[in-house]
Chain A
Amino acid sequence: MSDLLITENENIEAKKSCFKSFISRPSIRFSLIMICLTLLVIILPFIIQLIATTLTARQFKIISSSSSDEYLANKATLEKIILKQENTLNDLTPKSFYLVVNSTDNDFELHKGKELIRFGKCSTGKNELLERKNGKKYLFKTPKGIFTIKLKKTHPVWTKPDWAFIEEGLPVPPPNHPDRFDDATLGDYALSLGDGYMIHGTVWQRYLGLPVTHGCIRLDDDDLEFVYNSLQKGSNVYIY
């Protein structure tokens, strides 16, 4: 047993001396020093930057130190200004209902003040440029920005524009032709945003959440009714 221990100790000693002789080789020692220096150089910028930023802040404190009375007076002034600015900023959010439409993810949020009232899926413009044989182009895109409700309609009738026929490969009928008038597509309600853009219902409810429209905003029946009853003429609609 003791013989075994002695042999093990000898082994350890031998390993230690081997390691020492390896380290003591000039080339190895030089390489190790260089590695340590490299590591130090890599870390050094962070240490220098940390010291410099701390010193800059400290230096500024010394330059501009003021009496505690002055400090307290200025603190009070600043806090007063901040409170006033916060109120001004808060006042920019409409107190009444407003709609926010996300045309990238095709969803909407109905807010009243800062409170979220309803969230749901919608469909917005399909981002398509349709070109006719005569070179006339139609862009099916939902515009972004701030809009207001211009008009509210129940049981709206859609007066189909030319592109509605061109897109389906149908001949374009003359103005006021009965084929132009469609009382089923827009659903029970429509809210006009101007320039032909509307918030309305849809018969293609399974497409909600997808960009499939010609620029209008489509909602499902329940959401549309809720939005219609909440938004008034002049209410804001934000589209991004």
Chain B
Amino acid sequence: MKAIKAIIILIFTAFASLYLYFYAVAPIITLNQINKYALADSVFMRKHPIAAGHPNLMHQIKEKAFLDAQLSLSKADSIGLVINLKDSTASLVLKGVTLRRSKIDEIKQDLIFKGINGPAYSKLFSKPLVCISDSSTVVKAPIEYHKAPKDTIEAMQRMRLPDSLVCEPGYYSLNLNRGIRLVMVQSEEWTTPEEIAVGERFKSDMQQQKFFLYRIKDLKGKETPDYIPTIVLKTSKYNIRAIYRGLPDKVSVVLTY
């Protein structure tokens, strides 16, 4: 009996240590890396002395970074995404003009965002974040292919109206440069079979990053486990569709919180 207990305690300790390593140590390591990232950059620190020295000015530092990034985005010729977590909005912006402002119903933000210091915040968010890879359940350009009809009868037979009420399940995930992940997921209940399947995919995607066993598998050959600071936004699937289709292939994102 004592031997069984000892084995159980041993296994528990091993799992508990790994668990704490993944879920407590990895985020802290990432946070330290982010915070050192700006402080170690002497050129940046010389260029932005105000951002460096005044932690009490965090509100102003954030405001300035947000405006800097928006002004930088306005120089681009393509539509960009502006996420403002303070007022819970996601906007499509082109040349400084807001084309669409969508309400975010729910925000889930990793805790480490709160620990980012002024210089790191300035360095991370003063310029638009660029999307490295993305995935979505929404069809980007729903192009239908047709062969030209032979005659008027065939043309008449082919005539049909698109169903404007049909909307795909809403899920949009963006891996941004500077190591941040942004996920937009529909706030509506998952009701249709397609939506339930997407809901499962969303959970699985989240688990790939969060779930313990995936993380152990992922650790092979690495010194520290991967940890990607993630922000999950819940909004209507109609908003996700309009945002995703409105954005170009190379997405620029301005973020403030």
Cα distance A68–B79 in the bound complex, in angstroms: 42
Chain B proximity of A125: nearest CB distance (Å): 10
B32 / chain A contacts, CB cutoff of 8 Å: 56
Task: Enumerate A62-87 residues with CB–CB distance to B below 8 Å.
Answer: 64, 66, 70-71, 74-75, 77-79, 81-82, 85-86
Q: With contacts A89-B71, A130-B146, A170-B152 known, is A238 near B55, CB below 8 A?
A: no
Q: Which of A57, A103, A106 contacts B117 (CB 8 A)?
A: A57
Task: Enumerate A15-53 residues with CB–CB distance to B below 8 Å.
Answer: 26-27, 30, 34, 37-38, 41-42, 44-46, 48-50, 52-53
Q: A184 near B: Cβ within 8 Å?
A: no
Q: Are B54 and A46 in contact (CB under 8 A)?
A: no
Q: Are A210 and B161 in contact (CB under 8 A)?
A: yes
Q: B191 near A: Cβ within 8 Å?
A: no
Q: B211 near A: Cβ within 8 Å?
A: no
* Chain A 104-121 interface 0/1 with B at a Cβ cutoff of 8 Å (1 = within): 111000000000000000
* Chain B 14-45 interface 0/1 with A at a Cβ cutoff of 8 Å (1 = within): 00100110011001100110010000000000
Q: Are A56 and B117 in contact (CB under 8 A)?
A: yes
Cα distance A55–B147 in the bound complex, in angstroms: 66
Q: With contacts A64-B55, A78-B57 known, is A53 near B111, CB below 8 A?
A: yes
Q: Which of A42, A106, A141, A166 contacts B141 (CB 8 A)?
A: A141
Q: With contacts A78-B61, A127-B141, A132-B148 known, is A85 near B67, CB below 8 A?
A: yes
Cα distance A28–B78 in the bound complex, in angstroms: 64
Cα distance A41–B24 in the bound complex, in angstroms: 10
B179 / chain A contacts, CB cutoff of 8 Å: none
Chain A proximity of B171: nearest CB distance (Å): 16
A27 / chain B contacts, CB cutoff of 8 Å: 1
- The interface stretch among A6-14, A92-100, A194-202, A227-235 is A92-100
Chain A proximity of B224: nearest CB distance (Å): 15
Cα distance A42–B16 in the bound complex, in angstroms: 9
Cα distance A228–B238 in the bound complex, in angstroms: 29
Cα distance A85–B79 in the bound complex, in angstroms: 20
Chain A proximity of B230: nearest CB distance (Å): 13
Q: B70 near A: Cβ within 8 Å?
A: yes
* Chain A 167-180 interface 0/1 with B at a Cβ cutoff of 8 Å (1 = within): 11110000000000
Q: B206 near A: Cβ within 8 Å?
A: no
Q: B199 near A: Cβ within 8 Å?
A: no
A30 / chain B contacts, CB cutoff of 8 Å: 5, 8
Q: Which of B63, B94, B98, B100 contacts A82 (CB 8 A)?
A: B63
Cα distance A141–B198 in the bound complex, in angstroms: 28
Q: Are B144 and A240 in contact (CB under 8 A)?
A: no
A74 / chain B contacts, CB cutoff of 8 Å: 50, 53-54, 57
Q: Which of B23, B144, B146 contacts A45 (CB 8 A)?
A: B23
Cα distance A207–B161 in the bound complex, in angstroms: 8
Q: Which of B52, B99, B150 contacts A100 (CB 8 A)?
A: B99
A170 / chain B contacts, CB cutoff of 8 Å: 152
Q: B3 near A: Cβ within 8 Å?
A: no
Cα distance A41–B109 in the bound complex, in angstroms: 21
Q: With contacts A89-B74, A128-B144, A168-B155 known, is A56 near B97, CB below 8 A?
A: no
Q: With contacts A60-B118, A105-B238 known, is A71 near B71, CB below 8 A?
A: no
B28, B61, B151: most-surrounded residue (chain A CB, <10 A):
B28
Q: A209 near B: Cβ within 8 Å?
A: yes
- The interface stretch among B127-135, B215-223, B240-248 is B240-248
Cα distance A82–B155 in the bound complex, in angstroms: 59
B35 / chain A contacts, CB cutoff of 8 Å: 56, 60
Q: B195 near A: Cβ within 8 Å?
A: no
Q: Which of A53, A82, A146 contacts B64 (CB 8 A)?
A: A82
Q: B164 near A: Cβ within 8 Å?
A: yes
Q: A219 near B: Cβ within 8 Å?
A: no
Chain B proximity of A48: nearest CB distance (Å): 4
B148 / chain A contacts, CB cutoff of 8 Å: 130-133, 166-167, 169
Cα distance A198–B242 in the bound complex, in angstroms: 22
Task: Enumerate B155-174 residues with CB–CB distance to A below 8 Å.
Answer: 155, 161-162, 164
Q: Are A82 and B60 in contact (CB under 8 A)?
A: yes
Q: List 11 A-B contacts (CB under 8 A).
A: A49-B111, A71-B57, A74-B50, A82-B60, A102-B246, A105-B238, A167-B149, A168-B149, A169-B154, A210-B164, A212-B162
Known: A48-B20, A49-B28, A167-B149. 4 other contacts (CB 8 A): A48-B28, A75-B54, A144-B248, A211-B162
